[in-house]
Amino acid sequence: MTTRRALVAMGIGAAVIGATGAAMAEEEWYAALTLGSSNAKTDERVVAVTGATSSILTQDKRDPGFKVLVGYGFNAYLALEGGYAHLGEFRVTRHVTAPTTGALNADIRVIGLVIDAVGVVPLGTRFAGLGKVGAFLSETKTFRATSGSVTPASGVGSHAIKDEANLKLGLGLQYRFAKNVTLRGEWERYRHVGKPDTTGELDINLYSVGLLLRF
């Protein structure tokens, strides 16, 4: 091997070792707390009413949401995290105006466990973008109440509960402003949570900001 080739090989080897070392240095556990706002779109069948010919539907779509997470970074580019998510409580109301008057309210609460694979794209020494895909092991509870002369549709009970696994996706940015502290902002989408004609089916967007503490 010529001297030039030897130097090139040594340089490549040093670069690979350095990159691997940097990646390995990111192997670490972390805990996170994020707080934010949930925005839900609910299928209107959750407040189906028998015989209504004229009605107005209203939805309380927003509520605070939060997550408590534990994660493990395998390297600078990949992590796995899981924990508890409270996505909020939402109300859907059908105000019936004909042929009778009254209302049917549905109060819906969504909580559950999350597990995500997290891909990280470094954007310099402190900033990074991230993408998430995972599962939401959800519990959706719905309680209904009527007023006036309103009769819920057949099969629409006073309360319902649904446990299931749902797909979730997310995007975000994070900034590591101290050795063990990272600020993260993210958007997550939880799809088809609940059942349309019992608990109601929701698509929920959670916008949150939080801190990651590494140890």
> What letter represents residue 82's amino acid?
G
- Only one residue has tokens 């649904």, namely 162
Domains and CATH numbers, the chain: 28-214 (2.40.160.20)
Rounded to 5 degrees, what angle do the CA atoms 89, 192, 83 make?
Answer: 65
CA distance 149 to 111: 33
**Mean pLDDT (the chain, rounded):** 88
Look at residue 4 in the predicted model and tell me its pLDDT. Answer: 40
Residue 122 pLDDT exceeds 50: yes
215 CB burial (10 A radius; 0-12, 13-18, 19+): exposed
Better-predicted residue by pLDDT, 142 or 52: 142
Residue 173 structure tokens: 């940015």
Would you tell me how many other CB atoms lie within 10 Å of the CB of residue 71? 18
Over residues 135-160, the mean pLDDT reads 91
Helix (H), strand (E) at residue 202: strand 202-214
- pLDDT digits over 7-22, tens only? 334 343 433 334 333 3
Is residue 138 within 8 A of residue 110, CB to CB? The reply is: yes
- Only one residue has tokens 């402190």, namely 126
Radius of gyration of the chain (CA): 24
Would you tell me how many other CB atoms lie within 10 Å of the CB of residue 8? 12
Residue 119 pLDDT exceeds 90: yes
Beta partners for 170? 132, 188
Look at residue 17 in the predicted model and tell me its pLDDT. Answer: 36
Q: 27 falls in which pLDDT band (50, 70, 90)?
A: confident
Look at residue 26 in the predicted model and tell me its pLDDT. Answer: 56
Reduce the DSSP state of residue 86 to 3 states and report it: strand
Q: Is pTM, for the whole model, over 0.85? A: no
